[in-house]
């Protein structure tokens, strides 16, 4: 993996797109349990030019859909997941999906993003480990990509997603919505392909990555590459991979997903069990972080974490476009910006920057003790805000138009 420059991505054609069925067995290798695809499907998007100037060969994306596309093809919604999310936005746990949909509270029948009304599309990000081409996928030489997998950017991921849209026959999305790192891709969609985004919802995200966010990303990267079982990214043939490093990266990240006030209110200095931490026991907050680290180990690949984390680090929608204000001024979609008042990972100033620079954008704030994860937890507020936006009289037209 080598550093990727920030020059604009080459143009991508749509010639060799095809939807394929892939039966049991993950295409992503050693650190995924074997899974049945469930309602996952795969699109082969061929050789994909990257911002770095490299070409990723034989590329595919895993995706899921819910609802029905209208004959006019005007009701498609693209939902873009965060760092360790996947295509399973809504639905029950089952084959290939160890957990229920990550946004069940917002996407589904009768919810703000109503699958009885909209044709909802969600893909596993390029570089992912839930079916899309990533570091644990098989390279052309028959071995896992491992350390040879190229670094990716937000623009690379979006160009792959445009090929998925082409394969599904979707020229314009009624709504593109993303939260956190998914919001990075949503912004990029609206700037790179304004004609393909009618409504835009940016949730707990930013136009570029701040120094504070870079610092947290770097610490997570160090945790993984410092694991003695990382083997420079080529651990797939070894019986043990960098599980301790990946778990530590997740624990570090999780502290940024919750607010200090919530952690103190929930755990304070309470002990786990009866033994005093002063004589070898543990605090409840330690057990909590270890629990979330362990959950990720069952479903995620360390190299994918590095690749996607890196795409977050280099994200800057204004790069090569004259800066952020100039880039966001080109957005033609009707836009909604949502921030969370206790979010310490994506602070309110980033939402303000987006709302001020996107013409006619509307801004709403979710009030929560839960920090960044409030977009997942505060279902009532999220549904109310999104319903008001989607069902308002200006639906499909920019507020300043």
The predicted structure's pLDDT at residue 94: 73
Any bridge partners for residue 340, and if so which?
366
5 vs 51, 153, 280, 314, 325, CA distance in Å? 7, 9, 48, 9, 21
| Closest by Cα among 384, 322, 321, 317 to 353 | 317
| Closest by Cα among 212, 140, 215, 205 to 176 | 205
| Alpha-carbon gap, residue 130 to 113, rounded angstroms | 23
Tokens of 235: 């651990």
Any bridge partners for residue 200, and if so which?
176, 335
207: left (phi over 0), alpha (psi -120 to 50) or beta: alpha
**Mean pLDDT along residues 49-61:** 97
pLDDT band at 29 (very low <50, low <70, confident <90, very high): very low
pLDDT tens per residue across span 272-285: 988 888 888 999 99
| Alpha-carbon gap, residue 256 to 122, rounded angstroms | 25
pLDDT tens per residue across span 116-132: 999 999 999 999 999 99
pLDDT band at 1 (very low <50, low <70, confident <90, very high): low
Q: Say how many Å lie between the first and final Cα of the chain, rounded.
A: 45
The predicted structure's pLDDT at residue 20: 59
Q: Are 130 and 296 in contact (CB under 8 A)?
A: no
**Backbone dihedral angles phi then psi of residue 229, each to the nearest 5 degrees:** -100, 15
**Backbone dihedral angles phi then psi of residue 59, each to the nearest 5 degrees:** -85, 140
pLDDT at 35 over 60: no
Q: What percent of the chain has pLDDT above 90?
A: 82
**Mean pLDDT along residues 353-378:** 98
pLDDT at 4 over 50: no
Residue 382's SS3 state is helix
Residue 388's SS3 state is helix
Q: Are 53 and 29 in contact (CB under 8 A)?
A: no
> Residue written as tokens 């069990």?
273
| Alpha-carbon gap, residue 153 to 159, rounded angstroms | 10
List, in order of start, the domains of the chain with CATH numbers: 18-209+318-391 (3.40.50.1820), 213-309 (1.10.1740.110)
pLDDT at 8 over 50: no
pLDDT tens per residue across span 147-206: 999 999 999 999 999 999 999 999 999 999 999 999 999 999 999 999 999 999 999 999
Q: Are 157 and 295 in contact (CB under 8 A)?
A: no
> Which has more confidence, 301 or 26?
301
Active site residues: 180, 343, 372
DSSP state of 9: P
| Closest by Cα among 203, 246, 177 to 340 | 203
pLDDT tens per residue across span 320-362: 999 999 999 999 999 999 999 999 999 999 999 999 999 999 9
pLDDT band at 97 (very low <50, low <70, confident <90, very high): confident
| Closest by Cα among 202, 195, 198 to 173 | 198
Beta strands in 205-273 (DSSP E): 271-272
pLDDT band at 310 (very low <50, low <70, confident <90, very high): very high
Sort strands 197-203 and 76-80 into parallel, antiparallel or unpaired.
Answer: unpaired
């Amino acid at each position: 993996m080598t550093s990727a420059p920030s020059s604009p991505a080459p143009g991508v054609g749509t010639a060799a797109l095809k939807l394929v069925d892939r039966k049991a067995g993950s295409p992503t290798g050693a650190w995924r349990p074997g899974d049945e695809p469930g309602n996952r499907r795969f699109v082969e998007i061929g050789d994909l030019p990257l911002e770095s100037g490299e070409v990723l060969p034989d590329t595919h994306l895993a995706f899921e859909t819910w609802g029905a596309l209208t004959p006019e093809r005007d009701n498609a919604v693209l939902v873009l997941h965060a760092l360790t999310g996947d295509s399973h936005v809504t639905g029950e746990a089952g084959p290939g999906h160890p957990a229920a949909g990550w946004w069940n509270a917002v996407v589904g029948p009768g919810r703000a993003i109503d699958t009885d009304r909209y044709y909802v599309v969600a893909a596993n990000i390029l570089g992912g480990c839930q079916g899309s081409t990533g570091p644990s996928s098989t390279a052309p030489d028959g071995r896992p990509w491992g350390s040879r997998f190229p670094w990716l950017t937000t623009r690379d991921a979006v160009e792959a997603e445009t090929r998925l849209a082409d394969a599904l026959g979707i020229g314009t999305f009624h709504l593109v919505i993303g939260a956190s790192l998914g919001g990075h891709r949503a912004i990029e969609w609206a700037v790179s392909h304004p004609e393909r985004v009618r409504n835009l919802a940016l949730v707990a995200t930013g136009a570029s990555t701040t120094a504070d966010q870079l610092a947290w990303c770097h610490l997570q990267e160090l945790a993984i590459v410092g694991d003695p079982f990382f083997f420079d990214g080529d651990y797939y043939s070894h019986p043990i991979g960098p599980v301790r490093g990946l778990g530590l990266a997740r624990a570090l990240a999780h502290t940024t997903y919750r607010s200090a006030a919530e952690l103190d209110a929930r755990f304070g200095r309470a002990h786990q069990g009866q033994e005093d931490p002063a004589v070898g026991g543990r605090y409840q907050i330690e057990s909590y972080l270890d629990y979330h680290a362990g959950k990720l180990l069952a479903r995620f690949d360390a190299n994918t974490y590095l690749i996607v984390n890196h795409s977050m680090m280099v994200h800057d929608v204004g790069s090569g476009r004259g800066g952020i204000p100039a880039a966001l001024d080109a957005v033609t979609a009707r836009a909604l910006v949502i921030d969370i008042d206790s979010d310490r990972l994506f602070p309110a100033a980033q939402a303000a920057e987006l709302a001020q620079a996107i013409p006619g954008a509307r801004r709403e704030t979710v009030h929560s003790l839960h920090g960044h994860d409030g977009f997942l937890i505060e279902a009532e507020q999220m549904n109310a805000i999104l319903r008001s936006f989607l069902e308002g009289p200006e639906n499909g037209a920019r507020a300043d138009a």
